[in-house]
Amino acid sequence: MSYESHLETHILNRCWSVYALLTNAFSPSDTFHLGFPSLVETAIVSSDLQINLRVAEGFTLLLREEYEFVMYKLEIHRYSYNLIDNSGTPIIRSDNLPYHHTDYKGHKLTHPPHHIHDKGGRVCSFSGDLKDFIDLVKDNIS
């Protein structure tokens, strides 16, 4: 298998893992299901997956992952997961930008640079795992 094919396979697998997480947690529209293959094609070409998914009445999940390869291994170089309301106001958001080292109480982040901004905009520790963010989204929309 060529190096390029190897990389494409890893991106493809990650995209469909994200799809499985989202479709198991929420009830996406038919438009989402039909459009997802083109999002995957774009991610394979650009190493950047971007998803806007309405997860409940009045709430949208904005997801972005930028991929890099290190020694034949796919890594999520940068990510941004955001739950917003209909007016575009952030409810919770998470990223791995390296600007925060402590939470709002002054404690070191447990998984730096991963962190989450809660409803009040306060920085809290976060694992960086999309599954964990989805669990928080479900808590916030119920």
Q: For the segment 44-76, what is each residue's pLDDT rounded down to a tens digit?
A: 999 999 999 999 999 999 999 999 998 878 999
Tokens standing for 3? 């190096």
Spatial strand order in the sheet of 73-85: 48-56, 59-70, 73-85, 90-95, 115-117, 123-125
The CA distance from 12 to 23, in Å, is: 16
> Residue 20 sits in which domain range?
3-141
Q: Which of 136, 109, 139 is nearest to 125 (CA)?
A: 109
Per-residue confidence (pLDDT) for residue 1, from 0 to 100: 64
Sign of the dihedral defined by the CA atoms of residues 35, 40, 45, 46, in that order: positive
pLDDT band, residue 41 (cuts 50/70/90): very high
Tokens standing for 89? 């106001």
Q: How many domains does the chain have?
A: 1
**pTM, full prediction:** 0.92
**Which runs of consecutive H residues, i.e. helices, occur in the chain?**
3-25, 30-46, 130-141
